Structure 1
Amino acid sequence: MTTDDTDYYLIDADLSAGVRALRDRVRGFVDTEVLPVIDDYWDRADFPFALIPGLAELGVAGYSAKGPGCPELSPLETGIVIRELARGDGSVTTFMGVQSGLAMGTIALLGDDEQKQRWLPSMAALERIGAFALTEPEHGSDAVRLETTARRDGGDWVLDGAKRWIGNASFADVVVVWARDTADGRVGAFVVEKDPEHGHPEGYSAELITGKIGKRAVWQPDVTLDGVRVPAANRLPGARSFHDASRVLATTRGGAAWESLGHAMAAFETALAYTARREQFGRPIAGYQLVQRTLAGMLAEVVTMQLWCVRMAELQERGEWTGPMASLAKMHHARRARQVCLDARDLLGGNGLLIEHQVARHLTDMEVVHTYEGTDHVQSLIVGRDLTGLSAFS
């Protein structure tokens, strides 16, 4: 069975020629440039800087942003890009998600025209790398209670605090920092820029978090802000409360659903091919009833996720996509993709423990997806509040 044959409900078969061409372009890059090298980077927990020029040539950076230099892809095109990157590797997907959805997406949504022109074109070309600093050491799911502060001092803002799990932040040129104004308590977004000659500004430091079991090839450091000065022109005027951060996250949670689909598709396709060639007791294990039952169950989950994602793109295109919808999609897809990857690892037996067979990498990367952009439990509470009108959390 080929990759196209696994399009069981002919979803990709109904894509327009332009979307299929985009899919094939990203898939070709993943197959020829990412997969041959990513296991080594992942094993060493090293970031694949060598892949950035090829990613830039794809012309998809800033896929969910609207503004100068951005590709301005449709929601469906954006999802297909994320899915195809995830079919290759979660670390590369996260790098591009931080760049395109979080950093560029925030500037495009909440910045003014001058700020968009100043940052977005070079970020779309991957000439400047972005980061998004919201999560804190003591505030993950309850990021609304963030403690990082910003105080006005003449023509600057001064930032103090700590952030955690901030992808790309150790080498990013543009870091969107969310902080609370000491004067009025309102939450805002401030862009910390790295000087080409002198590096990050005084008081900014980043220390890599080590020992991760998943997404090992993307760097997610702890960030310390100790009196970091930011020009007043670097405050994003559209960021006036935590609600504005939530608007950005509602978009990226949809991306997490597409990413989960990509991991699940890769795990299923790997397991299907492996069971067809792996022989036990004198014949391929794909011929055994328990294996076929497992494969059929995995495929059912993959098809379900595919259908959800296409519907999600339709609702986004129509402007009817909501935050609780995003939470439901993220919750469902993270759960189901995690199980598909686990089933694939089981079908591969002992070989499923080796990253050379890819499934272990997708499985542990899904452990990360299951947590970021809001944990499974938090997403369920957001949906529960929407259903009942009663909040189970503050």
Structure 2
Amino acid sequence: MGAEELDTLLGDPWDPQNPAGHAAALAADERAEMFAEGERRLDRYGLNAEFVPAAYGGRLTSADRLADVQRTLWRLDPSLAAGHGFSSFIGWVNVWVAGTDDQRREAASLLLGGGRIAAAFHELSHGNDLASAEFAARRDAGRWLLTGRKEVVGNLRRAEAFVLFARTADTAGSRSHSQFLISRAALPAGSVRDLPRAGSSGLRGLQLGGMELRDCPVPAGTLLGKEGEGLESAMRAFQITRAVIPSFMTGPLDTALRAAIGFASGRRLYGATAADLPYVRSVIARAHADLLAVDAVSTVVLRALHLSPAVSLYAPAAKYLTSRMALDAFEDLRSVLGAQGYLREGPYAIFQKMARDAASATFIHISRSACLAAMLPALPRLARRSWLLSPPAARELFEPGGALPPLDPDRLSVGAPTEDPVMGTLAAIGDGAGDRAGGGPAARFAARFAAELRELRDACLALPPRDITIGASPAAYALADRYSVLLAAASALALRDRFGDAELLGVLDRLAGRLGGASVLTDAERAGVEEQLYLAAAARHRDRELFDLTARRLPGQGGQP
């Protein structure tokens, strides 16, 4: 089992007669329902086994395998991907991180049997500020009494169990909350008031529920980990989910790019096709480069989850940048489709669904601004102790598909990392480029990004203490933004052997553009790079190949636009 087998089981998504294709997914979205046929096929595949480690009977052996399978679903229907399985993965990871062996086996058995685990963490009044969560659990004669509200929780009504984040102490600080693993069936009848689904512009099929409880009793054994360690456990678990989520963005963007190329190739304007217009070719080329950049940084972060303690910084950085790049690419591609980019019917209607779903998905688990805030405390420390000082990362970090040690949540730390090997790699590549007189465009880019790293180091060293907190200045947040771009640039440079020449230059050019300043490429060089990128994207579209670094061929013979 794997992504290719899942692709085959789901069939050609562009075939309008496929009951598990885009047309059926769009119809379900119009009804604001989960995609029923998609769910039936995922049950046949046994999707939940992808979330459970092999030690507990599942198929989870590496983060990149999990991401590969999930990207297949996100290309088809993000609501299905988030609602059928990934919301359970978010809940399960917290059990895996904090639970006893018995609790882990109980949760694994539930998932492997086709059940669901919801993750009831956030509250609308507090957003990503978990330390301020008000939902309370208090001890009472050998049990816990639960009181409070949780809103906008994926699959809450139809989940057999849920992981609950609740306040267990009235004092402020990091030891005031705990986690609980609760079986829905074990709750006393009538103790839960289900709240209506909140409306949403995207992910309309995702079952977003809420609940309200008052003095609802649960057994003492439902506590996950030790009392007061809920926030610490969540921060460790979030490193896993935040490292995996960025890779999903290539899914809806692949579908959007496929729709745009298909439309431009068939739309006739001024005696030629829209695809013959230089502007259209440039937009498609740039979107393809953005997708490859997203894939490069997410690939490295997925492997860092197994190999590097710096994943606590890499994960929010990638989550922030990939969602931002994907949304920008959607807006650019919409200019190619014009009115077709908004229509909810017709051969290109999947574009508007993907655009809406991708925008909503960027808030799954953590918002972009919260990602930047999570990064800030690490930057001055790394600027002082690591950047330009640490050796390059081990080569295995940049070998997609290479062997990895088992994913071990016990090795994840909630503290800021003391080393940043990816930036060490960027510094080494940049120094090497600077030593080569008259180097080509790739060497010029490497030197440019290394210089940007030196400037970032100086700026981060000058940050006052207040600028590494949630109340940091806009200038401090901008430094975190710049770090995320350098992380992607370092990833692309380290993976340069995986790119064609024009692909690498296109990716680096798009990333450099996010930093501002003088262009590395001349106008003529950029025009040549973008033309080669467009031709490569058109060839992948024609040959039914993915637009990511794998270029894997998709099943089917026709049907795509």
Equivalent residue letter for 2:158: F
Q: 1:93 to 1:187 in 2, by over 3 A?
A: same
Which residue number in structure 1 is paired with residue 469 of structure 2? 392
Aligned positions, number = 370
Q: How far is the alpha carbon of 1:324 from its aligned partner?
A: 1.8
User: C-alpha separation between the residues in 2 aligned to 1:45 and 1:264?
Assistant: 22
Displacement of 1:78 after TM fit?
0.9
Counterpart for residue 190 of structure 1: 180
Q: Which residue of 2 aligns with 1:237?
A: 225
- Amino acid in structure 2 at the alignment position of 1:68: Y
Q: Which residue number corresponds to residue 352 of structure 1?
A: 341
| Counterpart contact for 1:56–1:125, Cα < 8 Å | no
Instruction: Find the residue that maps to 2:245 and give its secondary structure.
Output: helix
The SS at the match of 1:39 is helix
1:340 is matched with: 329
Is the contact between residue 138 and residue 168 of structure 2 (CA under 8 Å) also seen in structure 1? yes
Local SS of the residue matching 1:348: helix
Give ranges in structure 2 of 5+ residues lacking alignment: 382-464, 472-561
Assess, with a 3 A threshold, how the Cα gap between structure 1 residues 92 and 349 changes in structure 2: closer, same or farther.
Answer: same
The answer (yes or no) to whether the contact 1:76–1:314 under 8 Å persists in 2 is yes
Amino acid in the other structure paired with 2:118: A
Question: What does the per-residue CA deviation read over 1:266-315, in whole Å, with 9 as the maximum and x for residues that have no partner?
Answer: 21122112211122223210111000010111011011111112212221
Runs of 5+ consecutive residues of structure 1 not aligned to the other structure: 1-20
Q: Distance in 2 between matches of 1:106 and 1:57?
A: 26
Q: Does 1:268 align with 2:291?
A: no
2:101 matched residue in structure 1: 113
Tell me how far apart the structure 1 counterparts of residues 139 and 187 of structure 2 sit (CA, whole Å).
23
Aligned to 1:9: none
1:53 aligns with 2:43: no
Q: Deviations 1:346-373 (Å, cap 9, x if unpaired)? A: 2111111123421111111121122232
Q: 1:269 to 1:215 in 2, by over 3 A?
A: same
The answer as to whether partners of 1:62 and 1:105 remain within 8 angstroms in 2 is no
Q: Displacement of 1:50 after TM fit?
A: 4.4
Q: Give the percent of matched residue pairs that are identical in Structure 1 and Structure 2.
A: 20
8 Å Cα contact 1:63-1:78 kept in structure 2: yes
Residue 216 in 1 paired to residue 204 in 2? yes
Alpha carbons of 1:288 and 1:200: their partners in 2 closer, same or farther (altered >3 Å)? farther
Amino acid at match of 2:336: L
Listed one character per residue, the Cα deviations across residues 19-66 of structure 1 (whole Å, up to 9, x for unaligned) are xx7221222344352534211111111123443332122233253443
Residue 149 of structure 2: SS of its match in structure 1?
Answer: strand
Residue 376 (1) aligns with residue 368 (2): yes
SS, match of residue 377 in structure 2: helix
In 2, the alpha carbon distance for the partners of 1:154 and 1:221 equals: 31
Q: Residue 126 of structure 2: SS of its match in structure 1?
A: coil
The 3-state SS of whatever aligns with 1:171 is coil
Cα distance in 2 for partners of 1:132, 1:317 equals 24
Q: How does 1:5-154 map to 2 (within 5 A)?
A: 22-30=2-10, 31=13, 32=18, 33-61=20-48, 63-66=50-53, 67-95=55-83, 96-100=85-89, 102-126=90-114, 128-154=115-141
Give 1:4's aligned residue.
Answer: none
Counterpart amino acid of 2:159? Answer: A
For the residue of structure 2 that corresponds to 1:61, the secondary structure is helix
Amino acid at match of 2:47: V
Q: Which residue of 2 aligns with 1:292?
A: 281
User: What's the CA shift for 1:229?
Assistant: 1.7
* Letter matched to residue 188 of structure 1: S
User: d(CA) in 1 for partners of 2:144 and 2:233?
Assistant: 19
Tell me, yes or no, if structure 1 residue 160 matches structure 2 residue 150: no
Q: Say if 1:351 and 1:199 are closer, same or farther in 2 by CA, change over 3 A.
A: farther
Q: Paired residue for 2:268? A: 279
Contact 1:137 1:162 in 2 (8 A): no
Contact 1:194 1:200 survives alignment (8 Å): no
The one-letter code sitting in structure 2 at the alignment partner of 1:25 is E
What amino acid is aligned across from residue 8 of structure 2 in structure 1? Answer: G
Which residue, 134, 147, 156 being the options, matches 1:169?
156
